[in-house]
Structure 1
Amino acid sequence: MKLSVCLIVKNEERFLADCLSSVKDVADQIVVLDTGSEDRTREIARKFNAEVHTTAWQDDFSAARNESIQYAKGDWILWLDADERLVLHENSDIKKLLTKEDKPIAYNVQIHNILPDGDNYKISHAHRLFRNGQSIRFSGRIHEQIAPSVSRLGGEERQCNLVIRHLGYALEGDDRERKNKRNRKLLEKMVREAPQNAYAHYTLAQHYGVTGEPKKAARHYERALGLNQFSNRMTASLLNVMAENYLTLGETEKARKRCLQSIRMVPHQSGGYYLLYRIEAQKGNWPEAEKRLLELKRHNAAIRGKEQRIATDIHLSDDFIERLFIPVFFYQNKYEEVCQSFAGLAEEIRSDNGLLALYSESCLKLGRWEQAARALQKLYSGDPQTKYLKALAVAYIKQQKFREAINTYERISALEPEDGDAIRRLAGLYGKIGQMEKSFYLLQKMKST
């Protein structure tokens, strides 16, 4: 059985080569439908022996997708975007899925939507692999789908372990602005054309959320929920994004209500527990935030590598969750736990100034002067505030490293000449090391000012 990989593209020279490289060893045919590129997109596609076709853009993703699959000659079709990569590993032999079938079949593929930090990702699913020649077609002006077509044809949905990495959520600057402008126009048009379509309201609400208009988003999320057209898996996801939007608006009780509804509907998830932690942290309710983090840690580990039961979830790295514990412990005066969590983090995460500040203060509270001094030195190098130098000088004094303390207070005095406390401490330190004349001079200087 043969596989056709189909894409629609426009000005994708930045992403296309990596996308096509990810499928070149499994595709029997690559179809690239260009909707008006002005860069090297078509040239790059031809380097991968892709069949390049062109069409005029009609403000309709489904129309373009349906035109692209008309060129597919394979028994099965995998559709991708240029900012996606098929992830192949030893347990994901796509060829084994390409069986001979006499009815419409669509495989649900896991999408890892990479977040801007490049480490964590949101998990969603989409019907990306389907049987050709069974009249399956796309619908939806934007965020197009084949699921309605498969359902109308009496087809079958199957699960598989294929993974696609999507980089689009990590776009920045002009790329993100162009994409948002294009999407808003199409999403608003789709809602006008189909005001009773819950999915149209849901996707428009998501757009308003990511472009900083949470009040508009809330109206369309509530409309989507009220239309009651989603499965339990999808409704649970909707409730979570509603909760996140209410959290942005500062409406924590509404956020909590939607989270708990989502978890009651689908307990096996990470997203709802992460949001419950954020709600408690935003309120400064640290004991409850700690409880929610422990739940998140347990559920995040449980869903790793297993079937996802919610339509759109989030996967968080162990380090990301562990770093969340540090402020939770700190604001409960659990300084020993802060130090233990900090020690378990990867080196690049321990360089974060916010975490270093909490760790260094915890070390000071525990009397761990040497560790505090090392952390404060690193902290000051990344964020040169004199308050860190003052804390560093105290740590040196506690270790009886008087010359290091003197050097530090000299730096403070040079930065803040009017700081009488620094001069007073310098006078005392010079006295401790026997330099009485210098000590006396500084005391006289204090009196004269």
Structure 2
Amino acid sequence: MKLALLMIVKDEEANVGRAIESVKDIVDEIVVVDTGSVDQTPDIAEKLGANVHHFKWTGDYSAARNACLEKAGADWVLWLDADEMISKTDHAKIKELINQDDVDGYYLIQRNYCHGLGRDDWTKAEGEYPDMELSHAGFTQNPALRLFRRVKGIKWEGSVRENVEPDDTSTRWVTTAAEVVCHHYGYAGAPAGLIEKRKMHIDLAREKAGAKKKDPQSWFELGTMLFEAGEWEECIKPFTRAFKLDSNYLEAMYYVAMSYFELGKMQEAWDALEKLLKREPSHAGGFVVLAGIERLHENFDDALAFYDKAIAARPDLFSAWYNKATLLLTLDKADEASECFEKTLALMPDFMPAMFGQWQNNIFNARFDRANDEMLKWLKSFPELKENLIEAVKAFISQEKYDLVSKAFGPLIEVIDNAESYMAYGTAQLAQGNVDEAEESLIKAIKRDGSLNDARLNLAQIQEIYRNDPGAALALYEIVLQYDPENEFCLKKVSELGNEQG
């Protein structure tokens, strides 16, 4: 059996070559339809042996895919997007699959590499495909019909999230799942590009749902896209419609409950959960939302009980472990919280809120060595954590937790290397009488940001009180007044020291 690789592309010069190269050894022809590239995409594809055809983009993915399908002559089709690849590990499986006489199509495992970002369907990358996983921490997965026989009348339908099947219902069309992974990198791209792509897909999904008003799947897909975009209010109607059209779409009620929860409408969330749990009494995600509602009402024991129910139903449910950890942290149950944070990070190693939560749990319970060792390790891979630490040290200073700042930030302050953090740390050292350390840190703060008057004011106090150098103190007070001419304390000090100097 001969196999064709089919693709539609536009401005994919950074990706198209890798996609083609990943399967070039097992395909007999390569057909690429370009929908309006202005970069080198068509040239790259042609150099790799592709037959490139041009198609005017109409906003309809199925139309473009069908135009591509018409150009193929092979018995079987493998469909890839430009930001996807197949590992050579699975080449032999594909060759075996297309020689099966009793199957016409295969759902491959589409593995979407992405940051965890708190998703319950996220899975940690464990090195199963080292050539494909690269530096990605994990992925989500879904079935995708990407390998199929080119039977008579086969075509795609739907402008987005398209379906492929023969137009004649009497044509045999047997599909099944296959243990072949299609590695997708589109969700790991720059946020701006993802937002633009998501907006386009939502618009197309609206058109599809409008054209198929009685199709629950179309409404569910629209709701899912809106939910993923954070459009909580807007996604409720399509999810509700999907459930009304077909009550088997139970997951729609879960998303409705989640959306109402995000909107702060707890009674509506509870009502949606009742519909869900009546039909599926052990829905783990539903228990997590119930726990969140109880937590907002300060029914903490009930909230913990619901988190435990969620974990019993699904031991790998990230959101249950993380939310339970944060609740235990607020309840000052250090050991239990630590176990939950550890489990959270085992499930989602790149989830920075869990790292910060574990650090807080450790410092609040005087486990400073462990807190510092872990945070220094995390900062090497996740420098964004510095922003959390900066806000934390500022908050602790405002609460006059000087000893906590000294112990929690001593080993971290040079790594954070931030003006406000140096000022806060210097303030804590001064409050504890550690004048040399305070002076060193405050000088670093001013060198990085000369507008930090509080740091300069503390330095002036050090010169006046501890160094017995009124001249140096006077000079610093005068600079403070350049930034804050109405500062009464400095005006008084300048007058006093000026008279003494005079």
* TM-score after normalising by structure 2: 0.66
Mean Cα deviation higher: 367-376 or 64-73: 367-376
Residue 121 of structure 2: aligned partner: none
AA aligned opposite 1:375: L
Residue 394 of structure 1: aligned partner: 428
Shift of 1:197: 1.2
Q: 1:278 and 1:299 mapped to 2: Cα distance?
A: 18
CA shift in 2, pair 1:247/1:402, >3 Å: same
Q: 2:218 and 2:368 mapped to 1: Cα distance?
A: 45
Shift of 1:8: 1.7
CA shift in 2, pair 1:192/1:339, >3 Å: farther
Residue 25 of structure 1: aligned partner: 25
Shift of 1:446: 7.6
The answer to whether structure 1 residue 319 and structure 2 residue 349 are counterparts is yes
Aligned residues: 424
CA shift in 2, pair 1:277/1:375, >3 Å: farther
Report if aligned partners of 1:280, 1:286 keep a CA contact under 8 Å in 2. yes
Residue 263 of structure 2: aligned partner: 249
Equivalent positions of 1:1-400 (< 5 A) are 1-89=1-89, 93-115=93-115, 119-133=137-151, 135-146=153-164, 155-172=173-190, 175-176=193-194, 179-180=197-198, 182-209=200-227, 213-228=231-246, 235-236=250-251, 238-239=252-253, 241-251=255-265, 254=268, 261=276, 265=280, 292=307, 295=311, 298-299=315-316, 318-321=348-351, 323-324=353-354, 326-327=356-357, 330=360, 334-336=364-366, 340=370, 343-344=373-374, 346=378, 347-349=380-382, 352-357=385-390, 369=406, 372-381=409-418, 384-385=419-420, 388-395=422-429
Residue 482 of structure 2: aligned partner: none
Report if aligned partners of 1:286, 1:331 keep a CA contact under 8 Å in 2. no
Q: 2:370 and 2:307 mapped to 1: Cα distance?
A: 19
1:49-100 superposed Cα distances (whole Å, 9 cap, x missing partner): 0122333444432233233223333343221212222244479843333332
Mean Cα deviation higher: 360-369 or 24-33: 360-369
Q: 1:329 and 1:156 mapped to 2: Cα distance?
A: 53
In the alignment, structure 1 segments of 5+ residues that lack a partner are 302-314
The answer to whether structure 1 residue 430 and structure 2 residue 443 are counterparts is no
Shift of 1:348: 1.9
Q: 2:349 and 2:273 mapped to 1: Cα distance?
A: 24
Shift of 1:367: 5.4
AA aligned opposite 1:158: T
Instruction: Please state whether the residue corresponding to 2:14 is helix, strand or coil.
Output: coil
Q: 2:104 and 2:169 mapped to 1: Cα distance?
A: 9
Shift of 1:196: 0.9
Shift of 1:16: 1.5
Report if aligned partners of 1:108, 1:160 keep a CA contact under 8 Å in 2. yes
Instruction: Please state whether the residue corresponding to 1:138 is helix, strand or coil.
Output: strand
Shift of 1:32: 1.0
Instruction: Please state whether the residue corresponding to 2:72 is helix, strand or coil.
Output: coil
CA shift in 2, pair 1:100/1:216, >3 Å: same
Q: 2:191 and 2:223 mapped to 1: Cα distance?
A: 22
1:417-441 superposed Cα distances (whole Å, 9 cap, x missing partner): 577665445544437xxx7998999
Residue 310 of structure 1: aligned partner: none
* TM-score after normalising by structure 1: 0.72
In the alignment, structure 2 segments of 5+ residues that lack a partner are 118-135, 319-344, 478-489, 498-502
Q: 1:18 and 1:286 mapped to 2: Cα distance?
A: 51
Report if aligned partners of 1:92, 1:161 keep a CA contact under 8 Å in 2. no
Q: 2:389 and 2:462 mapped to 1: Cα distance?
A: 26
Q: 2:283 and 2:28 mapped to 1: Cα distance?
A: 38
Mean Cα deviation higher: 40-49 or 53-62: 53-62
Shift of 1:127: 1.5
Q: 2:158 and 2:188 mapped to 1: Cα distance?
A: 24
AA aligned opposite 2:141: I
Report if aligned partners of 1:32, 1:51 keep a CA contact under 8 Å in 2. yes
Q: 2:438 and 2:387 mapped to 1: Cα distance?
A: 24
CA shift in 2, pair 1:246/1:379, >3 Å: farther
Instruction: Please state whether the residue corresponding to 1:299 is helix, strand or coil.
Output: coil
Report if aligned partners of 2:362, 2:371 keep a CA contact under 8 Å in 1. no
